[in-house]
Structure 1
Amino acid sequence: MCFTPRRIPKHLILEEPKRPGFLQRHWVKVIGTTTFLLLGLALSDIARAENFPASKQLESGNLAFQQGTHFVQATHLESSAQVEITGMVARLVLTQHFENQTDQWQEAIYTFPLSETSAVNRMEMHIGARHVVARIREKAEAQKLYQAAKQAGKKAALTEQHRPNLFSQKIANIAPGESVSIELHVTQPVDYKQGRFSWRLPMTLTPRYIPRPPLVLKNPERTDQQTIAADLALHLQPTDAFLANAMGWGKPTTLVPDAASITPYYYPPNTAQTNDTKLVNPMKLSIDLKAGLPLALVTSSYHDIQLYKDGDTHHISTQTPYIAMDRDFELSWQPVANQQPEIALFTESIHGEDYGLLLLVPPTSRNALASIARDITFIIDTSGSMSGPSIIQAKESLLLAIAKLNASDKFNIIEFNSNFSQLFPQSASADHHNQTKARQFVNRLQASGGTEIYPPLDAALSANTNTEWLKQIVFITDGSVGNEAQLLALIHEKLANARLFTVGIGSAPNSYFMRKAAQFGRGTFTHIGDSREVATKMQPLFDQLGATLLSQVNVQWPAGVEAEIWPERIPDLYIHEPLLLAVKFQRPIVNTQTVTVTGNSQTTRWSRNITLNIPSSTKAPLASEPQPKGIATLWARAKIEALLDEKVRGKDETEVRAVVLPIALNHELLSPYTSFIAVDETPEAERPQDQRLNTNAVANAVPFGQKVPDIAYPKTATSAPQQALIALVLLLLGSMLKARRLAYGILRKLGA
């Protein structure tokens, strides 16, 4: 039997009364829960800021804050540089002004570059009318003094070296609205190449690639400073355990355990400015140039300058009062044609000891190596850090190099980023067909991925070459890596009879690695910072690849004169590539004595003489009175550099440190084992102990023309976490309401 349900007439159906919505019925619960969650999130941020190491504080928003849609630093940076160049010595006073723009006490951390040849030999801290002269101390001791002062609420500043061209500044207990200035005194040798002198000031740096694998910490679940420092100490030198306080985006790896110290954050796009200059990290630059000889030309490679001459001094400044610190500043000057030097000696007498800088300029002959066949491997960096103008400059440089190959040469091209590939399985003849194939290969290259330098460099160094061929490697890169020591050790181990030439690309390359790679590779270093420089700067490199070099260079001092020269092993000299030797004379020097410098070219014996005149009556070929100061500092810096190079050659770290430390302390030089520490003992300037100290990193400017990965931008102290939480709550509420309506709809259909 079948039953059909009786239908109820529509007019008899009572409509379901409209019930209050979910939010209407539970608004108190919803608002209360949301408020509780937001309050808990804010409190957790405060807890993280107090208990986490600085590397974790980035997550708590202490790095910066947001005004509208703009990024603003908690601590504003403005710098000034006063430079005096005399002969072959540049003396720089770099002042960094840090202003606390918040209503809370701040510790500022700033990671910044200097030239890889710089010697930092003085630091001062200025707070209003007060100033404190820093003391040079062993690194671990300086760190302890800084930490103690920081915790006691005293103003303190700590300057450390992480690479020869990379330093950090820490300033503790900057009061709300207060400004603190750090003054660094830097001595640097002047470069002389291709008939031109030059001086360079790096102002930002390209983000360094940090090779894996990650460093496995003993207690990964712990986040307190003491545990992290103890873990890192297992992988670092004892003086580097302080790295737990580093504040960079890089994570420690087995190859780069100090990654957090060499990976500073960068200003993101759309950055608000707090000063009238409207520049990121503005720099004011003033230079007094005393060349000591008539000049034909004074130029700046990447900035517009203005200058006026007052007697023998050229006063130079930038066209605008301030410039953005987004690229290297380079000044060049060229003597008149008949004033080009061949050999020169600059001297300084200090504390009863005599020091000198000996400039050796090789012969200008371009005798081609026509009888020697060359096997050239070009390595080109196509990683992400080379994007923008850098990859264009690199490709133009390589295309020009291909065009300069001789038909008798063999060549190959290796391109690399996260992986690498070769144009040919092995070197091929540089005939027309293969050159055409090479140009097509180069034109297709694009920048992306990581900077894994070791595999392609190893492949180039390991490639078999017939002994009848001269093996040369031309390495084109920005050098933006953190594992410099590993790569230099590879070059030292596998160079054999090859020669490695480096070409640094970009507005802020890692010149330390590029210069040292060329030194260990017994080649030369060329820097190209603009596409307009490709032809002019690559031509001297081609001359060096195919011209007579000067080998077995020897300096013969007069009878009875003893001298300590650094570098101790005098390298080969190439055309356009002079050599600067730092000298300390062990016995008093008698004027008019003659020094003889000799060397062998492929065809002739080369010899030059120079007369010693020390100290006050010096009349060296390049110099006029007064003689430059800072030569003793440069000698100590050159000796320390040469001793540190022994680590690459396998010498034990402990032995190297034992020799370097006393030199750095005696000459008051910043080094891997020494730091500058300044503490303000003024009681009324101390931070009250009930006031919390925030730690923030001062961001660098993005290098001109380059793209920076998102990971290198800071996390700002915005309401983003709260906004995300509110969005999540609203999403859940919306889902619940939608589900409720859907259920009613289904029931109605069933009822129908």
Structure 2
Amino acid sequence: MAEMNPIKVVSVALVFALSFLTSIHTGQGKRAGNGIAVGGIPGPALAEQGLPDTGDKTLSPYFFVKSEDSDVDRLPMKSTSAEVEIAGVIANVKVVQTYRNEGKRPIEAIYVFPASTRAAVSAMKMTIGERTVTAVIRKREEARRDYEQAKSQGKSASLLEQQRPNVFQMNVANIMPGDEIKTELTYNELLSPTEGVYEFVYPTVVGPRYSNQPAAGAPASEKWVQNPYLHEKEPPTYSFNITARLNAGLPIREITCPSHETAIRYEGQTRASVDLGANEKFGGNRDFVLKYRLSGESIDSGLLLYRGKDENFFLLTVQPPKRVVEAAIPAREYIFIVDVSGSMHGFPLEISKRLLTDLIGGLKPTDCFNVMLFSGDSTVMAERSVPASADNVRRAVEMIGRRQGGGGTELLPALKKALSLPRKEGVSRSMVIATDGFVTVEEEAFELIRSHIGDANFFPFGIGTSVNRMLIEGMARAGAGEPFVITRPDEAPAGAEKFRRYIQSPLLTNVKADFGAFGVYDVEPAGIPDVLAERPVVIFGKWRGEPSGKITVKGSTGAGEFAKTVDVGGSRPEEGNSVLKYLWARARITALTDRNQLRSDATRVGQITELGLKYGLLTSYTSFVAIDTLVRNQSGSDTVTQPLPLPQGVSDLAVGAPSPGLRMYKSMAAPRSAGRGEVSSRESAGSGRPQASPAREEKEKAPVKSDLRIAVRKVEVRGSLAETDVRSVVDSRAQEFLNCPEWSAGKHKPGIETIVIEWAVDRSGKVGNVRFVSSSKRLSAHLERCLIKIVKNWIFPSGGNKGTVVRVTIEY
């Protein structure tokens, strides 16, 4: 497979720049109030400025550009905070968003933000000065109508809508100059441990979604994709804070926060508090992850009961048996599907490379496998799966290692192509998907996977600091697999090992629940899936009469039959368990939504709507709306969409448009041609991405003028980061040095020379203090500046309490 040469990189960048200049000259690229967009200029940005929308653009995120109009506050979101209370296995979360208008004209603020896929949002209120308005739940279209009417009447109002189970949108109307408006929403979720570890995840930012859907025909529920973003490495324009209070009910063994710096205080054996570190004020660019383990590997399992006025609810958790490894593991086929699109460029793709190296390297010689890389197009290693021999494994690792990331994220064509690959009869097939999930085709992906449930099971790996967990968890649920999320390179080996254990020996199969004399109904899930991970079996439901009798959960293990019996009479209904009604309703809504994605049904839509209204929950078809009674604005307002930070480690390529001032991205490489023995498909014509003409493709295949090669000979690390993590980034990025003009133009004479460069990496992963330690040959000042500039653009994993010093020896 040919290496991407620097001439190609430069030529693609030049073509893109010329196209951009042409679009400005012809009036197709225009500066909008919140961003500048090229080719895929978002309709809302045009509409805000009264500019015409041609109607032939795709839904696209775009880069924020600060308006020169100081009368309008384009950054109304000032802070977001969360207070988390964890009692036993249930988390209660209160989220407060503060909006302030520091401009001179009234505004409407729009903010798109993420949430847990399991969040049951049950309340919202809006505070304006001393007045507080409690929101009410309405059918989605009714809530939107009431909000728009209040906005036009000059009343302050707020509207909370669900765009995806894990993506919400807040609209706040008529924020007057000098106003500070706070919105507060409350949600609950169930925490279920895996291998003895409880994990609470608070998502902080929605990553930019790739879509090839035309903007003109897109429904209103999809318009959120057209959101402005800041550039990579730019911190959020609003502050972030989170506190957590843990009452585990059992002795706590340890608490960790791998994502952020925190202060952890233990308050006795069963209680603790967690506060965000002082230097994490702008840490809202990655998921907040809190993990804790109970002493003695204990698991909080059993039966919780709640007796309501009209309905009673229960929650049953049963810990499965220990894993038994089969003596003889049958041969399997693995299809590794790897996202190499623009949003995966840099740090996320390096995690994928590390993960896939561990996964493929751990295959048995009796297994067979194939590798598919996808962005706007897709490339497979072979037309059919090959044996997991040492040569084939090395070939696959080299194929993955050469990719740098670029292009769109055409997930569906990749899945369809993978499912159509020839297969060996009688061999179990598993699909392993590595992606950040920054797409808008979640429902279509779930439907495709469910329709092939007998052909393969699916194990998605979410890669990055703010992955689309709805997609990752939904693909696993639809494909009878297990989801994984890998946020750092050092988590890749453990993730690969977990995957091997799950595949080789499921914990529990053929799982059934016998409720005996306990009068249950409306049980979720209707059927209990096989248990792959060391995670409790979780069952929600309602009950009638008196709580008595026994519940028995049965299943098959590698060592024989398993049965666990719970005495219902041993548990008492408690008022503090009232949250069970929300958790049950959320579980039922998820099940109905899953079935509706497979085959849309008006009856199910009605059932979801009814559940949202009855239990006061945010759903795709029900929204919260709060309206003040005072008329405060008589002059109209400007609508502004709050720009979001790119998730930590995600590059500008995820947005796919040049930044202001024609500043080109540090890597505008086009998707590379398939290497020898690989099979490639052209990028979809409807992808919304430019396709090269045949003449241009031939030109790009011209040989590189320089035969210069870069080799990393030594990496020395002092500080918090692991040498393997640093080495992974350096190895993958060192070839960028070839983009420096003196080297790319072939001015270097043949021979082996060395340079030693040193730099510092701060706790957020940013590079600084780059300097040359030594060089066997004198370098020009221009070349030194170019090499330093390249290193400063690298991003390393964050973490640790202190910085890291890196010294690298390079041969060229």
Q: TM-score surpassing 0.5?
A: yes
Q: Is the 8 A contact 1:305 1:316 kept in 2?
A: yes
Q: Structure 2: how far apart are the matches of 1:56 and 1:215?
A: 12
Answer yes or no: is the 8 Å Cα contact 1:86–1:289 preserved in 2.
Answer: yes
Given that 2:236 and 2:644 are in contact with CA atoms closer than 8 Å, whether structure 1 keeps it comes out as: no
Distance in 2 separating the partners of 1:283 and 1:459 = 42
Whether the 8 Å CA contact 1:200–1:330 is kept in 2: the answer is: yes
Contact (CA 8 Å) 2:507, 2:534: kept in 1 or not? no
Matched, 1:704 2:648: yes
State the Cα distance separating 1:279 from its structure 2 match. Answer: 5.5
Does residue 687 in structure 1 map to residue 636 in structure 2? no
C-alpha deviation, 1:660, in angstroms: 1.3
Specify which of 594, 615, 621 is matched with residue 673 of structure 1: 621
Larger Rg: 1
Distance (whole Å) between structure 1 residues aligned to residue 461 and residue 110 of structure 2: 32
Match of 2:187 in 1: 186
Provide closer, same or farther for how the CA distance between residues 208 and 152 of structure 1 changes in structure 2, counting only shifts above 3 A: same
TM-score (norm: length of structure 1): 0.76
Shift in Å, 1:324: 2.2
Check 1:449–1:692 CA distance in 2 against 1; reply closer, same or farther (3 A cut). same
- 2:518·2:543 contact (CA, 8 Å) conserved in 1? no
- Counterpart CA distance in 2 for 1:131 and 1:617 is 34
User: Please, which of 574, 588, 599 is the counterpart of residue 650 of structure 1?
Assistant: 599
Q: Which runs of 5+ in 2 are unaligned?
A: 1-29, 34-41, 52-62, 662-812
Quote how far apart the aligned CAs of 1:340 are.
Answer: 4.0
Q: Match of 1:304?
A: 261
| Preserved CA contact (<8 Å) 1:375 1:411 | yes
Instruction: Tell me the residue number matched to 1:633.
Output: 582
Give the SS at the match of 1:573: coil
1:599 lines up with 2:555 in the alignment: yes
Cα root mean square deviation, aligned: 2.8
Q: In structure 1, what is the equivalent of residue 76 of structure 2?
A: 75
Deviation digits for residues 66-112 of structure 1 (CA, Å, limit 9, x no counterpart): 5799x973413301111101111111000000111211000000011
Q: In structure 1, give the amino acid aligned to 2:633.
A: R
Count of aligned pairs between the two proteins: 609
Partners of 1:556 and 1:597 within 8 A in 2 = yes
**CA displacement 1:501-541 (0-9 Å, x = unmatched):** 11000011100011010000000000011112112232211
Query: What 5-or-longer segments of structure 1 have no aligned partner?
Result: 1-41, 46-51, 218-231, 237-242, 244-257, 272-277, 619-625, 718-752
Whole-Å separation in 2 of the counterparts to 1:145 and 1:401: 53
Distance across 1 between alignment mates of 2:316 and 2:272: 24
- SS of 1:471's partner is strand
Counterpart for residue 46 of structure 2 = 56
Q: Which moved more, 1:57-66 or 1:350-359?
A: 57-66
Aligned-pair CA distance for 1:379: 0.7
Pairing 1:291–2:292 present? no
Which of 281, 293, 303 is residue 238 of structure 2 equivalent to? 281
* In 1: Cα distance, 2:231 partner to 2:540 partner: 43
Moved more, 570-579 or 478-487: 570-579
Q: Which moved more, 1:639-648 or 1:262-271?
A: 262-271
1:610 to 566, 569, 572: 566
Alignment CA distance shift 1:714-1:582 (3 Å): farther
2:355 counterpart residue number: 397
Q: CA deviation at 1:359?
A: 2.1
Structure 2: how far apart are the matches of 1:710 and 1:436? 29
- Deviation of the 1:59 alpha carbon: 4.1
Measured against aligned partners, the alpha-carbon deviations of 1:400-432 in whole angstroms (never above 9, x if no partner) come to 001110011111111111111111110111111
Corresponding residue number in structure 1 for 2:810: none
Q: Secondary structure of the residue that 1:73 maps to in structure 2?
A: coil
What is the letter of the counterpart of residue 669 of structure 1? L
Deviates more, 1:580-589 or 1:451-460: 580-589
Q: After superposition, give the CA deviation of every residue in 1:366-396 in whole Å (9 maximum; x if it has no partner).
A: 4137241101111111011101210000110
1:339 aligns with 2:340: no
Residue number in structure 1 paired with 2:154: 153
Question: Quick check: 1:364–1:575 contact (8 Å CA) kept in 2?
Answer: no
Residue 273 (structure 2) pairs with residue 329 (structure 1): no
User: Which residue number corresponds to residue 19 of structure 1?
Assistant: none
Distance 1:631 1:664, change over 3 A: same
Query: How much has 1:601 moved relative to structure 2?
Result: 2.8
- Secondary structure of 2:124's match? strand
Q: Offset of 1:63 from its aligned partner? A: 8.2
Q: 1:587 aligns with which of 545, 550, 553?
A: 545
Q: Note if contact 2:306-2:312 (Cα within 8 Å) is conserved in structure 1.
A: yes
1:555 deviates by 0.9
- Following superposition, the deviation at residue 585 of structure 1 comes to 1.6
- Measured in 1, the distance between the counterparts of 2:327 and 2:576 equals 40
The 2-side partners of 1:330 and 1:377 are apart by 30
Maintained 8 Å contact 2:461/2:486 = yes
CA distance 1:338–1:485, change in 2 (3 Å): closer
TM-score by length of 2: 0.71
Question: How far, CA to CA, are the matches of 1:356 and 1:464 in structure 2?
Answer: 46
Q: Which residue in the other structure is 1:107 paired with?
A: 108
Q: Which residue of 2 aligns with 1:315?
A: 273
Output aligned runs, 1:468-507, within 5 Å.
Answer: 468-507=426-465
For 1:406 and 1:53, the matched residues in 2 are separated by: 52
Is the 8 Å Cα contact of residues 343 and 654 (structure 2) preserved in structure 1?
A: no
Contact 2:509–2:530 (Cα < 8 Å) also in 1: yes
Give the aligned partner of residue 134 of structure 2.
133
Deviation, structure 1 residue 281: 2.2
With over 3 angstroms needed to count, the CA separation of the structure-2 counterparts of 1:710 and 1:657, relative to structure 1, is closer
Deviation sequence 1:441-485 (CA, Å, 0-9, x none) = 121122111101112211222334334211111111111100111
Give deviations 1:580-633, integer Å, cap 9, x for gaps: 22222233313xx32110112355111111222576477xxxxxxx95552210
| Aligned counterpart for 2:607 among listed residues 637, 646, 659 | 659
How far is the alpha carbon of 1:308 from its aligned partner? 1.7
> Does 1 or 2 have the higher relative contact order (CA < 8 Å, sep 6+)?
1
Amino acid at match of 1:674: T
Gap change, CA 1:340 and 1:528, over 3 Å in 2: same
Tell me: CA distance 1:415–1:326, structure 2 relative to 1, closer, same or farther (3 Å).
same
Task: State the alpha-carbon separation in 2 of the partners of residues 68 and 677 from structure 1.
Answer: 30
Which residue, out of 248, 256, 261, partners 2:224? 261
Write the distance in 2 (CA, Å) between the matches of 1:516 and 1:135.
29
For 1:193, what is the secondary structure of its paired residue?
coil
Contact 1:89 1:190 in 2 (8 A): yes
Q: 1:279 to 1:428 in 2, by over 3 A?
A: closer
Moved more, 497-506 or 391-400: 497-506
Please show how residues 3-22 of structure 1 align to structure 2 within 5 Å.
none
Query: Alignment identity in percent?
Result: 27
Give the deviation of 1:663 after TM superposition.
1.0
Letter in 2 for 1:260: K
AA at the equivalent of 2:350: I
Q: How far apart, in 1, do the equivalents of 2:560 and 2:540 lie?
A: 27
SS in 1 for 2:528: coil
Indicate conservation of the 8 Å contact 2:107/2:176, yes or no.
yes
Cα gap change, 1:400 to 1:390, in 2 (>3 Å) = same
**Which position in structure 1 is the counterpart of 2:752?**
none
* Matches of 1:534 and 1:710, distance apart in 2: 22
Structure 1 residues 613 and 184, CA gap change in structure 2 (3 angstroms) = farther
- Paired with 1:441 and 1:637, the residues of 2 have a C-alpha distance of 43
Q: Deviations over 1:104-141 (max 9, x none)?
A: 00000001100111111101000011000001001111
Q: Is the 8 A contact 1:76 1:101 kept in 2?
A: no
Over 3 Å counting, the alpha-carbon distance change for 1:328 and 1:74 in structure 2 is closer
Letter of the 1:303 counterpart:
H
